[in-house]
Amino acid sequence: MSQPLLSTHALNKSFGGLVAVDDVSIDFEAAKVHAIIGPNGAGKTTLINLLSGDLPPTGGAITFKEHDLTPKKAYAISQLGIGRSYQKTNIFADFTCLQNCWLGAQSRMRTSMRFFRPAKAYNEVRARAERALELCGLTERMDTVASAMSYGEQRQLEIGMMLATEPELLLLDEPLAGMGTDESRQVVALIKRLAKDHTVVLIEHDMDAVFAVADVLTVMVNGRVLATGNPEEIRANSQVQDAYLGTGEEEAT
Amino acid sequence: MDFVTFLIQVLNGVQYGFTLFLVASGLTLIFGIMGIINLAHGAFYMIGAYICFWLFGITDSLLVAIMAGIPIMFVFGYAIERLAISVLYKRDHLYQVLMTYGLILILNEMQKILWGSDFYSVPIPEVLSGSIPMGNQEYPVYRLFVSLVCMVVAAGMYVVIGKTKLGMMIRAGASNREMVQALGINISRVFAVVFSLGAALAGFSGMIDAPLSSVYPGMGNYILIISFVVIVIGGIGSVKGAFVGAMLVGLADTFGKVLVPEFSSMVIYALMALVLLWRPQGLFGRVT
Amino acid sequence: MSKNNKSRRHFIAGAAATTGLVAASSFIPSRFAIGAMAPIKVGILLPYSGTYAMLGNSITNAMKMRIEQAGGRMGGRPIDYVAVDSEMSVPKAPQNTNKLIQKEKVDFLVGPVHSGIAAAMAKIMGQRKTPIMIVPNAGSNAVTGPLCAPNIFRTSFSNWQPAYPGGVLMGKEGHKTCVTISWKYGAGIQMMAAGRDGFATTGGKSVKDILLPFPNVEFQAHLSEIAALKPDCVFAFFSGGGATKFLKDYEAAGLKDKIPLYGPGFLTEGVEKAAGSAADGIKTTLHYASNLDNQANHKFRADYEAAFGASANVFSVQGYDTGSLLLQAAAAVGGDVEATADVINVMETSKVPDSPRGPWAMSKAHNPIQNIYLRQVADGQQKLLGIAAEALEDPAAGCKMA
Amino acid sequence: MTPSRPLLIFLLLALAALAAFPLVGEEFYQGLVTRLMIMGIFAMSLDLLIGFTGLVSFGHAAFFGLSGYLLAILTPEYGPVSIWIALPLCLAGTALAALVIGWFSVRTSGIYFIMITLAFAQMFYYYFNENQDLGGSDGIFIFFKPSVTIGDFQLLDLSNHNTFYYFVLASLVLSYVLLSKILKAPFGQVIRGIQANEARTLALGFNTRKYKLVSFVIAGTLAGFAGFLEASHGGIMSPAHLGWHESGIVMMVVILGGMGTLYGPVLGAFAMGFLQDYFQELWSDHWLLLMGVFVIAVVLFLPNGIAGLVAQLRRGKGGDAP
């Protein structure tokens, strides 16, 4: 087994008395699609929030390459090359698609504490933003205000903004949430394309999609890791079947 | 400062803290449940004092004046909530600040139209006048009485917040409106009631302070700013925080005046800055 | 208000037409001709909104009443009042003053109440020769001290005047030590200093000077301090709502019967009713007492009450005397108030014999030389005990004219 | 952000009107317009926070007043201070104050931010209110406007009211140009992102707290520039210049004019100046009541201010696409 790109060690997060993530240790290997599945309330989104720095952990540690992410804020984690998308669409609704991606692209400049030269004049930023739009398939919609687009397109933009920061590792929180079949198919194709040169951590409820793209799966229940393995192993795991795939699925979704 | 004087100054601080709590608790309640910043809270305090003066003139009894004044303030608060505040719930804090700022201007002028710019006083009831000896000096009975009333109100709020449905909503917090609605509660009615209660509480503070402070235009301005300091220190939305904040501010103000008179008016603001440096959400505030 | 403006414009138009006529005929010196026809403009900068509106209204009402009683004309000319609300705002003071001076081109500028605004106005006045400014209240020593100028007059008092005799009084009544307490702002600091100085001339000593931030009314901590210090007496300056609260707190703390309270008259002025028993028996010194037994005072009080349905107070006396001064000066120059130097000459040496506060005269620094009365509150009324200082003149420290 | 053509034409016309005004306006009105332009700069600086960064500062007058006091302290009793000394020191002083206050304040958000900025402004207020060496509550004079000389050559005579007028007008234009440049630059993109969605801006890799702090310092410094002009113009600085009423009024000016546009606050300053005068004429005794009603009416019916109203009218006509 090669050195993991990202790993958590005995990670903990509690809100008051409620333990959302409980003693979680997972290794995420480079260049793999690692899906995390589990019923609602299993702590998947909290885990992503811990990995991205949106929430500080209560205990444990997160390591990315040689960096200790545990004390780092979200912006610093982003700067290390970890991008994330949100389950609830989290875009700049009043901005155009290009402007949405622009900010992500601009964050890769050494600093944005630049006050006089117009932002437009930074061609490398434009190039990055346009590439991100192209990747997520919104080139045509470049000048459309985000709030005027369909839900599916907004989901695509959500991913585009993340890509504009040119991350090495992607944290995708339910990218297919609320999507129709056609749109889902497009996004699955996009994830497959991205998987070629990115490491992906994916949370998703759509099991067909998960089994279609994931190299490794981790099953979480009640904040704990139940099992980790390749799709076949997970499918064959009786504990998983009992706890989740077998009886729980209807309730879970 | 000898020990007896020290103790008396502590009493002064605590006593001042109690009166601050009474005003601040209404403010924090309104914010905690409704998410509204009410700059006009000080004006409500003033209106309460004037209503007390007016009713005292008619009834010649402080008790009756206050008993009749509280429902008036409640109705008054209800009207303001329906007419003005209710449109603000979905708006930015900025607009709340502005609208309630506009309300201050209106209420101040209304006061002047109704009662003129003279200052008035309401006498302390016979049974509560006078003072009791304490160390090397005497302490006014009415002040002790006000403290007692504040304690009763504080205890009452503690019970309400701990044991009732309303209290549960306060604890759940305004951030979780879905949950409140899920419980099948008509949120707009709750808001109207809470705002009216807050107004009544502010008015009540003005009424009970009237015999102490006399009644004069602009009497709400100073108390407003200091109440904000109290609830920011305590954590906005937390009644417990308002209590602790009021005590801290009362003591800091009292000892600031005695020990560092040169900087006395800055002491409480410095205290607030220090608290926020340590805990940006205040002592008992929720992290948002 | 708008009606006023219309008539004002009308007058201006008339005056302009007259000017043209007169200039064409060129027989009579034009200055005098205009003077005879056009109204005299009196600008007023006083608070009409906010906490101090009562002062602004008292002054304005009494001044207009005085002029109305004299036939509503000054030196034979009609009068055009232009009132601006000072809002007690120092930031707006330069603009408000300039509005009256530059835009309205007033002949006289009456105001203000607030000493910060007075300073701002005085600064502008100091740089020009016209108009003539009359201060009907603001007591800042500086106005007739370092900031004094030929065209600045005061009809009220300097902060030193009512306070100094109060200090002397404490010594005369046998007290050796005192605590002084006031708000930390211009008037408070100046009155406290004057009271302390007066006390010192009798060998008395202040053991502690307490200054509270204005307008803080939480006195309790300081009252405990005073109780612990046990001075012979207390010298206090507060006014309005703050004064009422101080008196009541002082009584409630059980101090009133143990440590006598003194102060400038503002401490008990207008608060007698509100303070009730807390004000009873307190001796203060001021340039007026409501039951002064002179003809002018009786008439003034009766007229004021009849006209405005309210009792006259010290502020309305100051407004009334402002009216008297204006009338006198305008009459002496035959209505030619544009002859500023002449008007100043008259005002500088003017005496106001028929003032409700008793006769007073203008000092070299342009501040009243006036009696300071000793008063005591009894049964919710000011009672006159006598004269604390006769024809008292402000030392006018720092004034080059004195 | 590039102004549309009709807007550009309007702005140029307004500029021309302002430039021509001293030729026709009386001295008093000239002084009034000078003050309103200063108010415009002050409001513009607050708009950078409220309208572009999403920071509702309720203590912005602190910087305005602080700079004025610094000028008062720097101006000797018997002569002017050189602008080359005074202006940099005033701006540096305010920038430093903004840095300290901002450092505390930007850790908080929402109502806490509103309240902590208010509290700091109150601290300044009380400091000046009680410092008798600086005139206490009465305020302090600035007897001479700063001198603008190079060597012995007098470049500008600011004590001449015409010169001062054009100096302020130039300052207004300069502030406008400077702010619009900043807003178009990468920095401006980031603060707009923060205003629209701070959490997402953070997640995209921006240390939002740092950007908010810098924005706070820029706004504070510009407010200081306005305070410097105000102190020179009025010749007096008082604690009331830093009070919460002043902060409230400038906030009102921003909203009335239209936040999130740079010309809006300037429009707001002029509209507010006119209204105060008008209300006083209308009902001199209780004109503040009218002001209160007006404030509420703006909140209810004109939340985007005059600028928003204009934009809405133009959209209503079915005019231009964005």
- Please check whether residue A114 touches D, CB under 8 A: yes
Residue of C48, C85, C99 lying closest to D28 (CB–CB)? C99
pLDDT at D285 over 90: no
Per DSSP (E only), the strands in A99-232 are: 169-173, 199-203, 216-221, 224-229
Chain D residues near residue A116 by CB distance under 8 angstroms? 181-182, 185
H-helix or E-strand spanning residue C27? none
Cβ <8 Å between D248 and B102: no
Nearest-angstrom CA–CA distance, D173 and D37: 10
Nearest-angstrom CA–CA distance, B230 and B269: 10
pLDDT at A250 over 60: no
State mean pLDDT over C76-104: 88
Residue among D203, D290, D45, B198 at smallest CA distance from A100: D203
Contacts of B93 (CB under 8 A, 6+ apart): B37, D56, D110, D111, D114
Whether the ω angle into residue A175 lies within 30 degrees of 0, i.e. cis, is no
Cβ <8 Å between B102 and D288: no
Nearest-angstrom CA–CA distance, C291 and C269: 13
Which chains have 3+ CB pairs within 8 A of C?
B, D
Largest CA distance in chain B: 59
Helix H, strand E, coil C: the string for chain B is CCHHHHHHHHHHHHHHHHHHHHHHHHHHHHHHHHCCCCCCHHHHHHHHHHHHHHHHHHHCCHHHHHHHHHHHHHHHHHHHHHHCHHHHCCCCHHHHHHHHHHHHHHHHHHHHHHHCCCCECCCCCHHHCCEEEECCEEEEHHHHHHHHHHHHHHHHHHHHHHHCHHHHHHHHCHHHHHHHHHCCCCHHHHHHHHHHHHHHHHHHHHHHHHHHHCECCCHHHHHHHHHHHHHHHHCCCCHHHHHHHHHHHHHHHHHHHHHCHHHHHHHHHHHHHHHHHHCCCCCCCCCC
* B178-206 residue pLDDT tens: 666 666 667 777 788 889 999 999 999 99
Chain B residues near residue C215 by CB distance under 8 angstroms? 222
Determine the pLDDT at residue D135: 84
Number of Cβ within 10 Å of residue C133's Cβ equals 29
Q: What are phi and psi of A15, to 5 degrees?
A: -110, 105
Residue of B nearest to D302 (CA): B95
Cβ <8 Å between D252 and B281: no
Distance from CA of A6 to the nearest CA of D (A): 18
> Does C199 or D138 have the greater pLDDT score?
C199
Cβ <8 Å between B272 and D116: yes
pLDDT band at C48 (very low <50, low <70, confident <90, very high): confident
H-helix or E-strand spanning residue C147? none
Residue among D40, D36, D55, D6 at smallest CA distance from D258: D40
State mean pLDDT over C63-91: 89
> Does C58 or C185 have the greater pLDDT score?
C58
If interface means Cβ-Cβ distance under 8 Å, which residues of chain C face chain B? 49-54, 57, 210-213, 215-218, 220-222, 224-225, 227-228, 230, 240-241, 244-245, 248-249, 252-255, 270-271, 273-276
Determine the pLDDT at residue C213: 80
* B112-153 residue pLDDT tens: 888 877 778 788 888 888 788 877 778 888 889 999 999 999
Q: What is the number of alpha carbons within 13 Å of residue A127 lying toward its C-beta?
A: 5
Residues of chain C with CATH 3.40.50.2300: 39-157+293-371, 160-286
Q: Do C167 and C285 contact (CB within 8 A), yes or no? A: no
* D41-59 residue pLDDT tens: 999 999 999 999 999 999 9
pLDDT band at C21 (very low <50, low <70, confident <90, very high): very low
Contact residues, B window 207-236, toward D, CB-based 8 Å cutoff: 225, 228-229, 232, 236
Determine the pLDDT at residue A244: 64
pLDDT band at C203 (very low <50, low <70, confident <90, very high): very high
Chain B residues near residue C270 by CB distance under 8 angstroms? 118-119
* Predicted-complex ipTM score: 0.83
Map out the domains of chain B as residue ranges.
16-278
pTM of the entire predicted model: 0.86
pLDDT at C23 over 90: no
CATH for C160-286 (3.30.499.10, 2.40.37.10, 3.40.50.2300, 3.30.60.50)? 3.40.50.2300
* A70-118 residue pLDDT tens: 999 999 999 999 999 998 889 999 999 999 999 999 999 989 889 999 9
Structure tokens at C216: 């803080």
- Please check whether residue C395 touches D, CB under 8 A: no
Structure tokens at A193: 């394309």
Architecture of the domain defined by A1-81+167-253: 3-Layer(aba) Sandwich (3.40)
Chain B residues near residue D119 by CB distance under 8 angstroms? 228-229, 232, 269, 272-273
| Mean of the per-residue pLDDT values of chain A | 88
* B207-226 residue pLDDT tens: 998 888 778 887 888 888 88
pLDDT at C34 over 60: no
> Does B136 or D107 have the greater pLDDT score?
D107
Number of Cβ within 10 Å of residue B185's Cβ equals 15
Residue of B106, B229, B270 lying closest to D292 (CB–CB)? B106
Nearest-angstrom CA–CA distance, C155 and C323: 10
Architecture of the domain defined by C39-157+293-371: 3-Layer(aba) Sandwich (3.40)
Map out the domains of chain A as residue ranges.
1-81+167-253, 90-165
Q: To the nearest whole percent, how much of chain C has pLDDT over 70?
A: 91
Look at residue D54 and give its three-state secondary structure. Answer: coil
pLDDT at C133 over 50: yes
Which chains have 3+ CB pairs within 8 A of D?
A, B, C
Residue of C2, C50, C213 lying closest to D281 (CB–CB)? C2
State mean pLDDT over C151-172: 94
pLDDT band at C4 (very low <50, low <70, confident <90, very high): very low
Chain position carrying tokens 């960064």:
D53
Determine the pLDDT at residue B223: 87
Instruction: Kindly report which listed range (A42-56, B164-178, C155-169, D107-121) carries the lowest average pLDDT score.
Output: B164-178
**Sign of the torsion angle spanned by Cα atoms C160, C163, C166, C171:** negative
pLDDT at D238 over 50: yes
| Mean of the per-residue pLDDT values of chain C | 85
pLDDT at A3 over 70: yes
Determine the pLDDT at residue D254: 94
State mean pLDDT over A20-34: 92
Residue among D120, D83, D119, D99 at smallest CA distance from D231: D83
* C98-121 residue pLDDT tens: 889 988 889 999 989 988 888 889
Determine the pLDDT at residue B173: 55
Determine the pLDDT at residue C19: 42
Determine the pLDDT at residue C359: 92
Residue of C49, C116, C123 lying closest to D235 (CB–CB)? C123
**Sign of the torsion angle spanned by Cα atoms A104, A109, A112, A116:** negative
pLDDT band at D153 (very low <50, low <70, confident <90, very high): confident
Chain A residues near residue D201 by CB distance under 8 angstroms? 103
Contact residues, B window 92-111, toward D, CB-based 8 Å cutoff: 92-95, 97-99, 101-110
Nearest-angstrom CA–CA distance, B262 and B256: 9
Determine the pLDDT at residue C168: 94
Put residue B135 in one of left, alpha, beta given phi > 0 → left and psi -120 to 50 → alpha: left
A near C: at least 3 beta-carbon pairs less than 8 Å apart:
no
Determine the pLDDT at residue D316: 58
pLDDT at D211 over 90: yes
Instruction: Kindly report which listed range (B153-162, B168-177, C48-57, D91-100) carries the lowest average pLDDT score.
Output: B168-177
State mean pLDDT over C383-401: 90
Q: For the residues of A161-198, what is the DSSP string, one character each?
A: HHHHT--SEEEEE-TTTT--HHHHHHHHHHHHHHHTTS
Chain C residues near residue B255 by CB distance under 8 angstroms? 221
Nearest-angstrom CA–CA distance, B151 and B12: 15
pLDDT at D2 over 70: no
| Mean of the per-residue pLDDT values of chain D | 89
pLDDT at D90 over 60: yes
pLDDT band at A249 (very low <50, low <70, confident <90, very high): very low
Nearest-angstrom CA–CA distance, C41 and C11: 11
Residue of D246, D283, D285 lying closest to C91 (CB–CB)? D246
pLDDT band at C320 (very low <50, low <70, confident <90, very high): very high
Chain A residues near residue D207 by CB distance under 8 angstroms? 73, 75-76
pLDDT at C7 over 80: no
Whether the ω angle into residue C131 lies within 30 degrees of 0, i.e. cis, is yes
Cβ <8 Å between C116 and D238: yes
pLDDT band at B170 (very low <50, low <70, confident <90, very high): low
Cβ <8 Å between B212 and C249: yes
Distance from CA of C148 to the nearest CA of B (A): 31
Nearest-angstrom CA–CA distance, C212 and B262: 9
Q: Which of B173-182, C44-53, C231-240 has the highest mean pLDDT?
A: C231-240
pLDDT at D159 over 90: no
Distance from CA of A83 to the nearest CA of D (A): 7
Contact residues, C window 52-71, toward D, CB-based 8 Å cutoff: 53
Residue of C90, C91, C95 lying closest to D32 (CB–CB)? C95
- CA D245 to chain centroid: 14
Interface with C, mutate which of D132, D137, D245 (most C CBs under 10 A): D137
Interface with B, mutate which of D123, D129, D279, D302 (most B CBs under 10 A): D123
Determine the pLDDT at residue B152: 93
Determine the pLDDT at residue D68: 96
Cβ <8 Å between D197 and A91: yes
* A153-202 residue pLDDT tens: 898 899 999 999 999 999 999 998 888 888 888 889 989 999 998 999 99
pLDDT at C287 over 90: yes
